[in-house]
Structure 1
């Protein structure tokens, strides 16, 4: 699993990650999950690393999926979360086996974004939701983030909200842009 996107970087910064990253926007995530037309009992936090985003949610059984074993260890040890080592482009779950998935502040790090969307479409049951919280590269702060991540050697590939919504539609989701700005939320409801 090493060599996938920016995994090596996250392995190195794992002990500091939760100290330097702001908390996830639980209201934006909950608003995204509210678009599901089925109850959300089982949720995957794809690229969830230390589980920072899932601490902003309450209710469903949450499993963090990440390629960084060091970040997953932090999710298990410091947050008591279930964690599975995995590639977002080859999720180790059965068809229709979860009610929802989130990808929070991580989509731009995924080396095969199209495969990640297709895999989410495969594992999310009809009526479930994929909630992606990302940074808009067309926003002035977004342009600065893109430049800074590239300057430190990350292979980040950011998508604007409308382009991401189009990608979700192509994979069989009914997409909605929940909010816009430097950070934005796009939701796809599985048809």
Structure 2
């Protein structure tokens, strides 16, 4: 998260749940159903009080966020909170089944680093689900102006640009939903798929 964006979220953490609606379970499911393995271990990156991961029934639910105030709220929701940077996740390689980044990627400084870290920590068949806002839509252009007006250092992807960047991490990327609020997913290839990909690269 941009350093300048952390302090406001820290200050308003107690009020965040009152003003922000819960994550849309149906929209999350549209991405999560692309997973090719059971979703038992889920991490919510830049998750604040865990508004996305709270919608899931996973046995292990972790929230990683740089704002201490947000993590205190996550703890009150019986989630495991860890202070950290999405571009340097405190998780082992191949240790989780799903990574969620919900309405938060535009606040993060090293966005490609966040996507690379998601790819690293996913198990084969696991899924990255990113919910974001399209700056090319009318409402998106308004949001960009509003965030700048309040001092956020936000940077927004279009859906296709985000899918391209996720694909560069080695995940199988696709746009699941378009519009002002959109969803892009990346699926970690299973070993047989990875082997075929390497073989085709050698053949070329």
Same fold (TM over 0.5): yes
Unaligned runs of 5+ in 2: 190-204
Distance 1:137 1:60 in 2: 35
Q: What's 1:93 paired with?
A: 91
Compute the displacement of 1:92 (Å): 0.3
Q: What's 2:112 paired with?
A: 114
TM-score between both structures, scaled by the size of structure 1: 0.96
Distance 1:113 1:101 in 2: 14
Unaligned runs of 5+ in 1: none
Q: Does 1:7 align with 2:6?
A: yes
Kept in 1, the 8 Å contact 2:2–2:153? The answer is: no
Distance 2:31 2:92 in 1: 23
Compute the displacement of 1:96 (Å): 0.3
Post-superposition Cα deviations, 1:34-81, rounded to whole Å, max 9, x if no partner, equal 10111111000000001111222223421011011110010002x111
Q: What's 1:23 paired with?
A: 22
Q: Secondary structure at the match of 1:148?
A: helix
Compute the displacement of 1:22 (Å): 1.9
Q: What's 2:56 paired with?
A: 57
CA RMSD of aligned residues (A): 1.2
Post-superposition Cα deviations, 1:92-143, rounded to whole Å, max 9, x if no partner, equal 0000011110000000001100110111111011110000000000111111
Sort the Cα spacing of 1:123 and 1:190 in 2 relative to 1 into closer, same or farther, 3 A.
same
Q: What's 2:66 paired with?
A: 67
TM-score between both structures, scaled by the size of structure 2: 0.90
Distance 2:107 2:82 in 1: 18
Kept in 1, the 8 Å contact 2:64–2:84? The answer is: yes
Stretches (4+) displaced over 4 A: none
The structure whose Rg is larger is 2
Post-superposition Cα deviations, 1:141-182, rounded to whole Å, max 9, x if no partner, equal 111111000111000101000000000100001011111111
Distance 1:31 1:6 in 2: 29
Kept in 2, the 8 Å contact 1:64–1:84? The answer is: yes
Q: What's 2:32 paired with?
A: 33
Distance 1:39 1:4 in 2: 35
Compute the displacement of 1:5 (Å): 5.1
